[in-house]
Chains A and B, each alone.
Chain A
Amino acid sequence: MVAAFDEMKGHLGDVRPAYGELSRWLAEVPPDVLDYRRREAELIFKRIGITFAVYGEADAQERLIPFDVIPRIMSAAEWRLLEKGLTQRVAALNAFINDIYGAREVLRAGVVPDDLVFRNPAFRPEMSGQKVPHNIHVHIAGIDIVRVDAETFYVLEDNVRTPSGVSYMLENREIMMRLFPELFSRHRIAPVENYPDELLATLRSVAPAKTARDPEVVLLTPGVFNSAYYEHSFLADKLGVELVEGRDLFVKDEIVFMRTTQGARRVDVIYRRIDDDFIDPLTFRPDTALGVPGLMSAYQAGNLTLANAVGTGIADDKAVYSFMPEIIRFYLGEEPILKNVPTWRCREEEHLAYTLDHLHELVIKEVHGSGGYGMLIGPTAGKVAIEQFRAKLKTSPKNFISQPTLALSTCPTCVENGVAPRHVDLRPFVLTGRNGVRIVPGGLTRVALKEGSLVVNSSQGGGTKDTWVLDG
């Protein structure tokens, strides 16, 4: 594996311009000050109660995501490139989903194989032929980006169902401004605090066209036991909309209402942070109490906007991902600005053979997996794990893809004994409304705190950083 590109020192060790001030500051600041601020940050997070839950850990119902106080910095030019690439990517994702549930030209043209769509558990036949307000399916996307050198960014994953993490982007900035005002005054950093406003404007803009009143927007959460509950309540608060659970809503005559202390109140837009499967027991999984019976009838009658739309999962599965460059060319007639990580689809014989031959150097991912669960990182995996995956691959090759192990870029990070480079990724949040795309500059930087680790997922011990986009 090649040495990772360090975002502060590049490949050669010379401090890159965007990091000039930070690197001077790091050299000046006494280690105990850094350590003190770090503990202070942790205390603040704990008191505000910014927690998440890790599934499968009984004693960790609520846990803090470690926060690293050293910011990750991008230049304005780097961000402009990302912004263009993200806008393009999300436009293609929306066009693709609209097509899949509409004319299906992409299938007839043979760009994407039929069975990848129709045999995909995320495909929702209920949505076939269903118009959604303003033809927008993905209102909120979280696109995971990794970097391998000064010029090259890859899209690692598209998240177009219910992407999370934006609350950390906002809270990280708040805490940094509180703890390091002097560092802020040495930079000009593009703000992110307007994200909730942009989100609200986006949600209101996509209300059903026939909504005559001011649209009533709500945020639907599965409830306090969901791992992202903190974020749901945080966002509802910043948006100034009600945070509802399924039991707070009911459907009458194909119209959705919420139960209030003053009786029923009509709802027009639901920013839902609950998966398709659980949204309406009458249409999807009947064994859940999280959703709202009849919600789909209101949706299908055009009386409701769901953000994101039902069935968007068809576009972010890892097998469809591998077709994204073709999908972008097909709908937009443009070359992809952001690259895809080269991907072997194990459903294809040659790809499977290649994968099996190179297990020790590849990353193997489950097609429908997420959150860093169910993946194998060849170079660091033990023999037993590799053989287990070999067996899995042979039994159900369709469930897997493989990719080269990327040398993710690194950023200076506080560790046990000082400051050291650690691998990072970036999840910017892309909003699409009736009047176009909005992206606040930055996003959530996740960092693998263990030395050498490439897994940045919070459920696997990753942390977060504030992400600074320099202005001009």
Chain B
Amino acid sequence: MLSRTADNLYWLSRYVERAEYLARILEATHRLSALPLAYVGTSNEWESAVATAGCSAALFATYDEANESNVTNFLAFSTANTSSIRSCFELARGNARAVRTALTVEMWDSINTTWLELKRFGNGPTSSEEFSRFLRWVQESSLRFDGSAYRTMLRNDAYWFSRLGVYIERADNTARILDVKYHLLLPENERVGGPLDYFQWAAILRSVSAHTGYHWVYRESLKPWLVADLLILRDEMPRSLASCYEAIVRNLDSIAGAYGRQGPAQRHARGVRMRLQNSRMDGIFQRGLHEFIGEFIAENNRLGTLVTEQFLT
């Protein structure tokens, strides 16, 4: 297939995935900020939401303060922020339009409908009920798109490249949450916070839709190091770094199989996957959780570059 087509499919998936992630971050933050201060301490959740989305610098270039209305507007509706939910959907639809021939009717219909419906929300909701409807709508739109891709695409390189986009983006998103919140997830003897952090842990789990999953996996009350374990090493948790890399390696292998050729992207991804498989949480804590996450984000970006170099240009 055309390199540009593969590139468009890859980014189409990334943008849809990112929009959904932003919606979950905003939802979790709203929940936290609605709690009485006595339960969550004095930290500015809005500031940390922006950090998790990776656009602190951009926000403070426009606004003096990270408060609810600024952050909500910036992450959800801003046209100046190229990573806002609105921008993500617009970019996704732009990519989709450029490769319509490579999409199934259902995928096009789903992303085009999302784009048309986006206009309905105008420049932002007028009430918090409407805003939570908006956030639900974003997540539903992403689910619908993902589902239509999964259910209707031929299992060929087009599908594998679009999946790569999903998982590379997802790994990046989960890693960013960990990067911002790592200090809340340290083992007992190193903890800096207090019992107040309980709601923070819950919020982290919610932002990766794993609040229920946690209890099924561990059958325990929330323990920060287990939250870290779930998000990093557990294969059965679909947004964990391990699970994302399992899928990345699988899709890259399918491409290599079809093309009869291995390349730097495959080798690199397998390396990252192996390191995750061979790690234990105590080892990671010992070497430093923050360093581990920092390295992972760099490795994941490197994979993005390698995929682009090997296939998409």
Contact = CB atoms under 8 A, between A and B. Distances in A.
Interface of A: 46-47, 49, 223-224, 229, 233-234, 236-237, 242-245, 247-248, 258-262
A46 B116 contact: yes
B277 interface: no
Contacts of A244: 2, 4
Given A47-B112, A49-B108, A262 B259 contact: yes
B259 A248 contact: no
For chain B, what secondary structure do more than half of its interface residues adopt (helix, strand, loop), or is it mixed?
helix
B157 A261 contact: yes
Contacts of A229: 97
Given A259-B313, A261-B161, A261-B311, A49 B97 contact: yes
B109 interface: yes
A263 B298 CA distance: 27
Interface string B101-129: 10000001100110010000000000000
B113 to A, nearest CB: 7
A260 B3 contact: yes
B144 interface: no
Contacts of A243: 2, 101
Given A245-B4, A248-B2, 10 more contacts: A47-B112, A49-B97, A49-B108, A49-B112, A224-B98, A242-B1, A242-B2, A244-B4, A259-B313, A261-B6
Contacts of B2: 242-244, 248, 258-261
Contacts of B1: 242, 260-261
A261 B112 contact: no
Task: Categorize the interface residue count of chain B.
Answer: 20 to 34
Contacts of A259: 2-4, 313
A47 B259 contact: no
Nearest to B112: A49
25 contacts: A47-B109, A47-B112, A49-B100, A49-B108, A223-B98, A224-B97, A233-B100, A233-B101, A234-B100, A242-B2, A244-B2, A244-B4, A247-B4, A248-B4, A258-B2, A259-B3, A259-B4, A259-B313, A260-B3, A261-B2, A261-B157, A261-B161, A261-B259, A261-B311, A262-B259
Contacts of B6: 261
Contacts of B100: 49, 233-234, 237
A260 B261 CA distance: 14
B94 interface: yes
Given A47-B113, A49-B108, A261 B101 contact: no
For chain A, what secondary structure do more than half of its interface residues adopt (helix, strand, loop), or is it mixed?
mixed
B252 to A, nearest CB: 12
A37 to B, nearest CB: 21
B153 interface: no
B254 to A, nearest CB: 12
A200 to B, nearest CB: 14
Contact of B101 (A47, A49, A237, A262): A237
Contacts of A261: 1-3, 6, 157, 161, 255, 259, 311-312
Nearest to A259: B3
B56 to A, nearest CB: 32
Nearest to A235: B101
Contacts of A46: 116
B112 A224 contact: no
Closest 8 CB pairs of A and B: A237-B101, A233-B100, A261-B311, A259-B3, A261-B6, A236-B101, A224-B98, A262-B259
A248 B37 CA distance: 56
A247 B255 CA distance: 24
Interface string B1-28: 1111110000000000000000000000
Nearest to A242: B2
Contacts of A236: 101
- Best-buried of A236, A248, A259, A260 by chain B (most CB within 10 Å): A260
A214 B229 CA distance: 55
A96 to B, nearest CB: 35
A192 B98 CA distance: 26
Contacts of B116: 46
Contacts of A49: 97, 100, 108, 112
Contacts of A47: 109, 112-113
A250 to B, nearest CB: 11
Contacts of B4: 244-245, 247-248, 259
A234 B312 CA distance: 23
Contacts of A248: 2-4
A236 B94 CA distance: 18
B175 to A, nearest CB: 27
A290 B109 CA distance: 29
Contacts of B97: 49, 224, 229, 233
B3 A224 contact: no
A262 B1 CA distance: 7
A175 to B, nearest CB: 15
A113 B29 CA distance: 77
Nearest to B310: A261
B104 to A, nearest CB: 11
A234 B116 CA distance: 20
Contacts of B109: 47
A242 B100 CA distance: 11
Interface in B56-105: 94, 97-98, 100-101
A233 B3 CA distance: 16
- Best-buried of B2, B3, B6, B259 by chain A (most CB within 10 Å): B2
Contacts of A242: 1-2, 5
A234 B108 CA distance: 13
A437 to B, nearest CB: 28
Contacts of B98: 223-224
A259 to B, nearest CB: 5
A193 to B, nearest CB: 17
A234 B101 CA distance: 7
Nearest to B261: A262
A451 B184 CA distance: 71
B145 to A, nearest CB: 15
Interface string B235-257: 00000000000000000000100
B260 to A, nearest CB: 9
Nearest to A261: B311
A248 B5 CA distance: 10
Contacts of B157: 261
A133 B261 CA distance: 37
Interface in B139-156: none
- Best-buried of B4, B5, B6, B97 by chain A (most CB within 10 Å): B4
B94 A224 contact: yes
Nearest to A233: B100
